[in-house]
Amino acid sequence: MTENDKQTEEKIFESATDVFMAKGMDGARMQDIADHAGINKSLLHYYYRTKDHLFNAVFEKIAGQMFKKFAPVFDENLTLEEKIRFFYREHITFLQNNPRLPAFLLNELHRNPARIKKLIQGIDINKIWSTLEAQHKDDLIKYNITRETIPQLMTSIAAMSVFPFLAKPIIGSLMEKMGYDFDEYIEERKKYAADFVIKAMKK
């Protein structure tokens, strides 16, 4: 039945996502995924031929999500500062709901570098630069942003939101030990990161 079909196939996909996210490709076990979904292991092979296929399906979806979140910033009609604030609000909220996503993605890209090309084919820094120039010509001068410094700036912006999630094993434990609350820290970071970057950009 198509109804039950979708249910099973979807259940498998969701369980696979959970297990692969938590354990990675190498650490994940097909039996784990089956148990997690409450079904027989053979069903995994019935719907997704192999572990590689299943992992592939999960990775493709996950990878897509990550970068879709960056584009809308440029669609909004906002000042550069407002765009930065907008970005951190959206991006950190997304990471709050998908805290393991960056680590999962980077681990897999390290394990299988062949994926990278396909993943970044949609990203064109020159295009981003053109868009920025068109939308914020004076801000680029005001903030001294050039083609040479844009990698430094963009990685710094990404670092501010992504790093806390990548380093959560350490940061989270350290904060717990010291009486801070990680979730609160993340919530506050939406504003802190924006303020930090905006101040840093000023000449």
Partner DNA sequence: TATACTTTTGACCAATTGGTTAAACTTTAT
Partner DNA sequence: ATAAAGTTTAACCAATTGGTCAAAAGTATA
User: Of all residues in the chain, what percent are helix, strand and coil, respectively (each to 5)?
Assistant: 80, 0, 20
From residue 54 to residue 93, the character string flagging contacts with a copy of itself as x (rule: CB under 8 A) and all else as - is: ----------------------------------------
Query: Is residue 112 close enough to count as binding DNA by CB under 7 A?
Result: no
**Is 116 or 141 the residue whose CB approaches a copy of itself more closely?**
116
Query: 71-91 burial string, b = 16+ CB within 10 Å, else e?
Result: eebeeeebebbebbbebbebb
Query: Is residue 111 close enough to count as binding DNA by CB under 7 A?
Result: no
**Is 120 or 141 the residue whose CB approaches a copy of itself more closely?**
120
**Whole-number Å distance between alpha carbons of 110 and 92:** 24
Query: Is residue 199 close enough to count as binding a copy of itself by CB under 8 A?
Result: yes
Quote the least distance from Cβ 12 to DNA, whole Å: 9
| Amino acid, single-letter form, for residue 161 | S
| Amino acid, single-letter form, for residue 153 | L
Instruction: Please tell me what DSSP assigns to residue 180.
Output: -
Q: What is the largest CA-CA distance in the chain?
A: 64
Q: Are 66 and 105 in contact (CB under 8 A)?
A: yes
Q: Are 57 and 49 in contact (CB under 8 A)?
A: no
Residue carrying the six token digits 């198509």: 2
Residues 138-177 within binding reach of a copy of itself (CB under 8 A): 149, 151-152, 155-156, 158-160, 162-164, 166-167, 169-171, 173-175, 177
Query: Is residue 40 close enough to count as binding a copy of itself by CB under 8 A?
Result: no
Q: Are 194 and 157 in contact (CB under 8 A)?
A: no
Which contiguous run of DSSP H or E holds residue 29? Answer: none
Site residues, a copy of itself (CB under 8 A): 23-24, 26-27, 103, 105-107, 109-111, 113, 116-117, 119-120, 123-126, 149, 151-152, 155-156, 158-160, 162-164, 166-167, 169-171, 173-175, 177-178, 180, 185, 188-189, 192-193, 195-197, 199-202
Site residues, DNA (CB under 7 A): 1-5, 8, 28-31, 39-43, 45-46, 49-52
